[in-house]
Amino acid sequence: MADSQPTLHPAAETDAVIDVRDVHYAIDGRPIFAGLDIRVCQGLITAVMGPSGTGKTTLLRLITGQIYADRGRVSAFGREVADMGRAELYATRRRMGMLFQNGALLTDLTVFENVAFPVREHTDLPEPLIRNLVLTKLEAVGLRGAAQLMPAELSGGMARRVALARAIVMDPEVLIYDEPFVGLDPISLGVILRLIKQMNDVLGITSVVVSHDVHEIATIADHSYLLSDGRVVASGSPAELAASDSATVQQFMTGSAEGPVRFHYPAADYATELLGAERG
Amino acid sequence: MSNGSREGVQEALRKTGVTALFFGRLLAACVPALARPRLIIAQVYNAGARSLIIIMLSGLFTGMVLGLQGYDLLQRFGATSALGIAAALSLLKELGPVLTALLFAGRAGTALTSEIGLMRATDQLTAMEVMAVDPMRHVAAPRFLGGLIALPLLTAIFIVIGLFGAQLVGVQMMGVDRGIFWSQMQSAIALKDVTEGVVKSVVFGAVLSLIAVNEGYHADPTAEGVGRATTRTVVASSVMTLLLDYVLTAAFL
Ligand SMILES: Nc1ncnc2c1ncn2[C@@H]1O[C@H](COP(=O)(O)OP(=O)(O)OP(=O)(O)O)[C@@H](O)[C@H]1O
Ligand SMILES: [Mg+2]
């Protein structure tokens, strides 16, 4: 299926913050990953692209230790996630921040308290300091004025920005974004893009951005992986991908339904099924 | 048919096992949760305040019915002086704990299940996990403890208001002597009767909170899934209340 060999990333093995090696994973017997290899390097923005349903969110669940691979290894900060005890897993998660696809704000807390939540849980900082910290992060996403609103009063895009403020409030070493651009207006999108870039440039935060917005991601990613059918079908810098003559890459970049990447969920033959319905 | 029933039994056993395991994890999470009394108090308030009005109203009417029925029954034997005892014993040992538990299941239990189920469905529990906050400790345990504390308190309120209702009908309307109503009650009720009521309400509090939290925590993360879990909470809670009521009554005889 893979019509181009994944180019090996030039960076040395030692500065891989997250290392996914030959991972196999199946849900209810249906394989999602079959030999997935992804390496996220220190201080870079790594993009993971792929059509809807290829398992991008599942990959993030593997990385954060919510689920475990059937085969292969997933390691974070040099330790294999599956080998970690609970305490170590929690300690590792505190070094990561994650932005959920739908925000996942706590609905019974205000915007302010949502952003303050990890701080209150993990530190004993005095109230004025927490206040400053939270307001700084809210200001960065442009929602300081919304601090006292409840999550139900936010639009989808605003909720995502609050979730971003919450993800960065503990100054994580690695930030993981699940579809950060979906449903944002062009201005918010630009702000979020710049924010991701800035946190990477200024604070040196390693970032993993899952997205299917090829063009947005191309402007900030240092290295991209293109997933399809449970494995990496292409990888490289945005320029390399754009210049690739692989049919898979071109199909994804140009957004065509026809090509090596299956747009359809696995199904019985269309004509057979239609005829079957008529008979049956 | 036998195949289907065997599967049903297997499924029931599996669910019992899962619930027992969950109960173990919940108890383990309760220990660190006790370090955060504010979360627990908030949940006592949540579960208690939600049910307070309906508990008070139901208590009043239950007591009033007891006054009427008790008076009607006792006057046939010329024993209306025993109305106070009759009302107190039935409220303390049976009606108080059981009716409060059933009302609690319908009001607070369903709210707990749907709240936790929706938190699951909207990834809030996952988000906590990823922020290195244990949702068992932060969400499940405080709600369990809150229900466990709230139900006995509500039962006490139900009983007191029920007695007031019985007195209202018996003494004010039917003319039973006020002094006899209260003094007979005082002298005839033993500590064992009070213990029975307290034990029942504590056991109901633990079991009903466990059911509500467990169903919510394991609800399918969809709108229908949460709806189904809420229904299961009411059904399981009602059946368990009546079943345990029989077991505990037999144990106290
Ligand atoms: N709990 C589950 N039960 C069964 N199948 C699941 C479950 N979660 C995910 N899947 C399947 O796993 C596949 C990958 O899902 P995933 O959410 O990782 O996709 P994705 O790449 O993030 O898609 P999108 O871009 O739409 O978010 C999907 O085909 C989905 O059907
Ligand atoms: Mg996804």
pLDDT tens-digit map of B44-97: 999 998 889 999 999 999 999 999 999 999 999 988 888 999 999 999 999 999
Q: Kindly give, in sequence order, each residue whose CB lies less than 8 Å from that of residue A23, ignoring residues fewer than 6 positions away.
A: A33, A35, A36, A37, A62, A69, A71, A72, A73, A74
Q: Looking at residue B118, what is its pLDDT?
A: 94
Residues of A in contact with B142 (CB under 8 A): none
* Residue A278: predicted pLDDT: 63
* % of chain B exceeding 90 in pLDDT: 76
Task: Return the pLDDT at A228.
Answer: 85
Of the candidates A104, A105, A118, which has its C-beta nearest B126's C-beta?
Answer: A104
Q: Are B67 and B87 in contact (CB under 8 A)?
A: yes
pLDDT at A262: 63
Residue A107 touches partner B, C-beta closer than 8 Å: yes
ipTM: 0.81
Contact A233, A4 (CB under 8 A): yes
d(CA A95, CA B132): 10
What integer pLDDT is reported at residue A22 of this predicted model? Answer: 92
The answer to whether the beta carbons of residues A241 and A226 sit under 8 Å apart is: yes
What is the pLDDT, as a whole number, of residue A3?
42
Contact A244/A234 with Cβ under 8 angstroms?
A: yes
* Among A23, A25, A36, A54, residue to substitute to test ligand 1 (most atoms within 8 Å of Cβ): A54
Among residues B124, B122, B121, which one has the least CA distance to residue B139? B124
pTM of this prediction?
Answer: 0.84
Q: Which amino acid is at A40?
A: V
pLDDT, tens digit, for every residue of A106-149?
999 999 999 999 999 999 999 999 999 999 999 988 899 999 99
DSSP 3-state assignment of B41? Answer: helix
The per-residue pLDDT for A14 is: 53
**Touching check for B132 and chain A: CB below 8 Å?**
yes
Is the CB of B28 inside 8 Å of chain A's CB atoms?
no
Of A164, A175, A250, A255, the C-alpha closest to A213 is: A255
Q: What are the boundaries of each domain within chain B?
A: 36-252
Q: Is A34 exposed, middle or buried (0-12, 13-18, 19+ CB in 10 A)?
A: middle
For the segment B6-14, the average pLDDT, to the nearest whole number, is 88
Question: If you measure CA to CA, which chain A residue comes closest to B120?
Answer: A104
What's residue A50's pLDDT? 85
Neighbours of B11 (CB within 10 A): 10
The mean pLDDT value of chain B amounts to: 92
Q: What pLDDT, on a 0 to 100 scale, did the predictor assign at position A258?
A: 67
- Spatial separation of the C-alpha atoms in residues A100 and A102, rounded to whole Å: 5
Distance from CA of A123 to the nearest CA of B (A): 12
Question: What band does A33 get if pLDDT is binned at 50, 70 and 90?
Answer: very high
User: Is residue A92 very low, low, confident or very high in pLDDT (cuts 50, 70, 90)?
Assistant: very high
pLDDT in the model for residue A257: 67
- Mean of the per-residue pLDDT values of chain A: 85
Q: What is the pLDDT of residues B124-155, one digit of tens each?
A: 999 999 999 999 999 999 999 999 999 999 99
Task: Give percent of chain A above pLDDT 90.
Answer: 48
Q: What is the pLDDT of residue A184?
A: 79
With 60 as the cut, is the pLDDT of residue A40 above it? yes
Specify whether the CB–CB gap between A166 and A121 falls below 8 A: no
What percentage of chain B carries pLDDT values higher than 70?
Answer: 99
DSSP state of A71: E
Which chain A residues are within 8 Å of B128, Cβ to Cβ?
106
Share of chain A above pLDDT 70, in %: 90
B1 pLDDT higher than 60:
no
Q: pLDDT tens digit string along A138-197?
A: 998 889 999 999 999 998 888 988 999 999 999 899 999 998 888 778 888 888 888 889
Are A16 and A41 within 8 A, CB to CB? yes
The amino acid present at A169, given as its one-letter code, is V
| Cα(A200)–Cα(B235) distance, integer angstroms | 53
CB neighbours of B56 closer than 8 A, spacing ≥ 6?
B157, B158, B161
